[in-house]
Amino acid sequence: MQTHTYDVVIVGAGGAGMRAALESSTRARTAVLSKLYPTRSHTGAAQGGMCAALANVEEDNWEWHTFDTVKGGDYLVDQDAAEIMAKEAIDAVLDLEKMGLPFNRTPDGLIDQRRFGGHTRNHGEAAVRRACYAADRTGHMILQTLYQQCVKNEVEFYNEFYVLDLLLDTDLREAKRPRKGAEVTVVGVVAYELGTGEIHVFRAKSVILATGGAGKIFKTTSNAHTLTGDGMALALRRGLPLEDMEFFQFHPTGLAGLGILLSEAARGEGAILRNSEGERFMERYAPTIKDLAPRDIVARSMANEVREGRGAGPHKDYVLLDLTHLEPEHIEAKLPDITEFARTYLGIEPFTDPIPVYPTAHYAMGGVPTTINTEVLRSNTDVVGGLFAAGECACVSVHGSNRLGTNSLLDINVFGKRAGVAAAAYANEHELVELPEDPAAEVVAELDRIRTAEGGENVAELRRTLQETMDADAQVFRTEESLTRALGTIDDLRRRYRSVSVQDKGRTFNTDLLEAVELGFLLDLARVVVVGALARQESRGGHFREDFPTRDDKGFMHHTMAYARPTSGPDTEIRLETRPVTVTRYQPMERKY
Amino acid sequence: MTATTTSPAASVGEVPSFDVTLRFRRFDPDAANPEPFWQEFTVTAHGTDRVLDAMHKVKWELDGTLTFRRSCAHGICGSDAMRINGRNRLACKTLLKDLDLSKPIVIEPIKGLPVVKDLVVDMEPFFASYREVMPFLIAQGNTPSKERRQSPEDRARYDDTTKCILCAACTTSCPVFWTDGQYFGPAAIVNAHRFIFDSRDEGAAQRLEVLNDKEGVWRCRTTFNCTDACPRGIEVTKAIAEVKRAMITRAF
């Protein structure tokens, strides 16, 4: 076991982690731990754009952007956070341009902007051109640009290091929690080096969680295989709450059957969704902005068309994304990658044939709760000293119950930067906390248990059952019955997971072992999603209960705070509490588009 | 296993399920006597399955020790470059139905980098070359308060080379790189090109100096392997030629 000491340790090297690193590494001694090479992170898969009210091509301002974000999130957004994000968006885009990001340009050489779902002029009048973009590979360009800057600034990376535990100076896992105001401080993290199988302890004054999403709890997903919610699960296991996990975004246009993302930018550039009858059905669901309604509404509308028998294809189980009326040159210039996806993976030529699409699990609105300065909350009122979180793994909450397209690339830049600044400032004002005795003991014991078990449960089978269950029972449409069924399956899988085993017993690059560990994270998080969804007896944003089809502001205008608490048995249980939504200038209204 | 799926993808193009045999070049450094060896597995696949799907089937159902990198599974992250039937490709972007399935699909690690385990190679030498070409915007003077202007035409000059995902398919397909691991290789030159031809950048002369080295751009023998290998369709050889020309004419 090796022990390292840093001022700041950043867990994750996607957009949020690297944006944070660019700030903290100039102010404090910083290490970035990533389970992948940084350029493999899933920020690179984001396509359409990053919204900021630059007003380069038409009138716009950050207040409209704030409003759209709040309304898009079905009023569960913390409005102070949304305002910060919309204001700081402008500098976030300009920062990236100055770092060299190759944005598409207007004829005058300014950063070009295009339309995106839910982003409107003057509080919903019409779609507005707000998304700054680089063809349909904006995320790729952001990831590459941030990595380039990290290379320039000689940021210290530990690549292919899996962080498997978060060390705090106080055990928060017990039923009895520290009193209000009591100091709880981060100590560091425990990591597993994939290349050698060695355990490393990183002592740090500040730790930033930036581990991204958890889309792999679902079967049909746009997410990478590696998006297993590690940071969220580590926090939950250490007794910290997770916020609003029942809200998961299903992106409308996944390639049917595969889940591969086709950017909303396609609709921003004029593509239209049609059912088997050729009807532009979004005119019925969102008369004003039609195909550019927010994702929750479009996804639900698509699923409803299929349910009512108007799906396309031999099994009538998808709808069609039609680009055939657009100029091929325009598509080639603005959407080169996604047209290639259609050709490569489905053999469809999008210039002449519509593309089969169906909603795909895309984004966790919930995550590790933080303040607007990215400090991690351990309760509604207290933070953990030195612990920060940003990006998809965090919940600020700027996305509420439904994130608007492009706001995730914005989130990682705005709050990634804030996290880097805040973590460095904290580190410069505090001393290191003593490591506990044998800090890696729990991780070592768990890894040994999995590695040495023989003939136990199969990781892939448990994971497939989990993912199929979540797709069937906790996707776009949910009911008490489906969610109860899902919870029963998850509880059973959790029991079976305790006797999981792997075939690879080696030390070098043992991905078999790490897939087993990641399955543990997925099982933890899927349970929180389902328990939260069961308790939320209303429909809001990405969470739709067929048995409670309307929003209920009296009963549920609050955030969910989920804690894992000990039971008399071997498993924990999920306890739910609530946290008020911060409302500044926008009172909840009915959400129409 | 037989195909029972009714997923939409199965109906698109209506390609039935079929058996595929995969023949892997394997290496286990933890073995008592570590020697590379070949091993075959047969799995049932579906019409839209990629090589990566078949590899996952092997790993998840037959042999958990089979080791490879992967993440996004749709050609964006660059983790799973490997040699498939003698050609460098991404496993997640190579559809089984596009390969000759009458024979085993031969899968080996990319060449020219040290093999760590099975299909996993040590990427450090590759990234070291990348870092040497200063792959970041170099701009002197005061930072403007708003964005730098760049015309669409100037933006187009380096568009192709911004697509690079650093998968190493090009560099490890290059015969010069195989025989001389010191050669910068196509990917590093592509990433230098991306900045040399960016109108906002002022570091071209420094980068050309680096690439004028004996292990630099002149070692390219224009075999076009790199262009054929690039999963992003970058015209790598053309980019290298443009860098060579810029070095002679000092015009960029």
Which residues in chain A are closer than 8 Å to B161, comparing Cβ atoms? none
| Record: contact A313-B8, CB cut-off 8 A | yes
Final residue in a domain of this structure, among B121, B145, B176: B121
- A313 touches B: beta carbon within 8 Å: yes
DSSP state of B104: P
Mark yes or no for CB contact B30/A506 under 8 Å. yes
Decide: B187 and B170 in contact? Cβ < 8 Å: yes
| Mutation choice for B interface testing from A258, A276, A335 by most B CBs within 10 A | A258
B95–A345 C-beta distance less than 8 A = yes
Q: Test B152 with A151 for CB contact under 8 angstroms.
A: no
Interface test with B, best of A22, A34, A36, A39 (most B CBs within 10 A): A39
| Residue in A149, A224, A512 nearest the CB of B71 | A224
CB atoms within 10 A of CB A531: 22
Rounded to the nearest angstrom, the minimum Cα separation between B235 and chain A is 15
Position B5 pLDDT exceeds 70:
no
Q: Are residues B133 and B155 located together in one domain of the fold? A: yes
- Among residues B71, B87, B121, the one where a domain terminates is B121
Q: Is the peptide bond before A397 cis (omega within 30 degrees of 0)?
A: yes
Q: pLDDT tens across B179-194, in order?
A: 988 999 999 999 999 9
For chain A, the straight-line distance linking the first and the last C-alpha, in angstroms and rounded, comes to 57
CA B5 to chain A, closest CA, distance in angstroms equals: 10
Does residue B133 share a domain with residue B108? no
Among A257, A314, A512, whose Cβ lies nearest the Cβ of B64?
A512
CB within 8 Å: B77 and A345: no
Helix (H, G, I), strand (E, B) or coil at A209: strand
Interface subset of A 487-526, CB within 8 angstroms of B: 502-504, 506-512
Per-residue pLDDT of chain A (593 residues; tens, 9 = 90+): 999 999 999 999 999 999 999 999 999 999 999 999 999 999 999 999 999 999 999 999 999 999 999 999 999 999 999 999 999 999 999 999 999 999 999 999 999 999 999 999 999 999 999 999 999 999 999 999 999 999 999 999 999 999 999 999 999 998 788 999 999 999 999 999 999 999 999 999 999 999 999 999 999 999 999 999 999 999 999 999 999 999 999 999 999 999 999 999 999 999 999 999 999 999 999 999 999 999 999 999 999 999 999 999 999 999 999 999 999 999 988 999 889 999 999 999 999 999 999 999 999 999 999 999 999 999 999 999 999 999 999 999 999 999 999 999 999 999 999 999 999 999 999 999 999 999 999 999 999 999 999 999 999 999 999 999 999 999 999 999 999 999 999 999 999 999 999 999 999 999 999 999 999 999 999 999 999 999 999 999 999 999 999 999 999 999 999 999 999 999 999 999 999 999 999 999 999 89
Cite the active site residues of A.
295
What's the mean pLDDT when you consider all of chain B?
92
Count CB neighbours of A55 within 10 A: 15
Residue A77: what residue type? V
Per-residue pLDDT at B8? 47
Strands of B61-195, DSSP E: 81-84, 87-90, 105-108, 115-117, 120-121
Judge whether A445 and A234 are in contact, CB under 8 Å.
Answer: no
Looking at the structure, do residues B17 and B96 belong to the same domain, yes or no?
yes
H or E element in which residue A469 lies = helix A459-473
Residue A74 contacts residue A586 (beta carbons within 8 Å): no
**DSSP at B252:** -
In whole angstroms, what is the distance from residue A66 CA to residue A130 CA? 12
Angle ∠(B234,B240,B243) on CA atoms, nearest 5: 125
How far is Cα B24 from Cα B18, in angstroms, rounded to an integer? 19
Judgement on whether residues B178 and B62 belong to the same structural domain of the protein = no
One domain, residues B97 and B166:
no
Cα–Cα distance measured from residue B77 to residue B73, given in angstroms and rounded to the nearest whole number: 8
Residue at token pair 């020790």: B65
Same domain, B114 and B192: no
Residue in A closest to B31 by C-alpha: A506
Check CB contact of A107 with chain B, cutoff 8 Å. Answer: yes
CATH of residue B93's domain is 3.10.20.30
Q: Which residue among A41, A97, A314 sits closest to B11, beta carbon to beta carbon? A: A314
Same domain for B81 and B108, yes or no, is yes
- Residue B214 pLDDT level (bands cut at 50, 70, 90): confident
Gap between the Cα atoms of B103 and B41, Å rounded: 12
With cut-offs at 50, 70 and 90, classify the pLDDT of residue B14.
low
- Which pLDDT does position A97 carry in this prediction? 98
Picking from B6, B136, B139, the nearest residue to A315 by CB comes out as: B6
Chain A with chain B: Cβ pairs closer than 8 A:
183
B-chain residues near A303 (CB < 8 A): none
Asked if B12's CB is within 8 angstroms of A346's CB, the reply is: yes
On whether ipTM exceeds 0.90, the answer is: yes
Tell me the pLDDT tens digit for each residue of A340-388: 999 999 999 999 999 999 999 999 999 999 999 999 999 999 999 999 9
Question: Do both B180 and B197 map to the same domain?
Answer: yes
pLDDT at B211 over 90: yes
- Tell me whether residues A40 and B198 touch, CB distance under 8 A: no
Strands (E), A216-325: 242-243, 248-255, 272-274, 319-322
> CB distance B10–A257 less than 8 Å?
yes
Last residue of a domain, one of B121, B150, B170: B121
Q: Are residues B99 and B132 in the same domain?
A: no
CA torsion through residues A504, A509, A512, A518, sign: positive
Convert A491-545 into a string of H (helix), E (strand) and C (coil). Answer: HHHHHHHCCEECCCCCCCCCHHHHHHHHHHHHHHHHHHHHHHHHHCCCCECCECE
Q: How many domains does chain B have?
A: 2
The CATH number assigned to the domain holding B156 equals 1.10.1060.10
Instruction: Mark whether B103 and B130 lie in a shared domain.
Output: no
For chain B, say whether A346 makes contact (Cβ under 8 Å).
yes
Mark whether B130 and B103 lie in a shared domain.
no
How many Å lie between the alpha carbon of A445 and the closest alpha carbon of chain B? 21
Range of the domain at B62: 3-121
Does residue B162 share a domain with residue B107? no
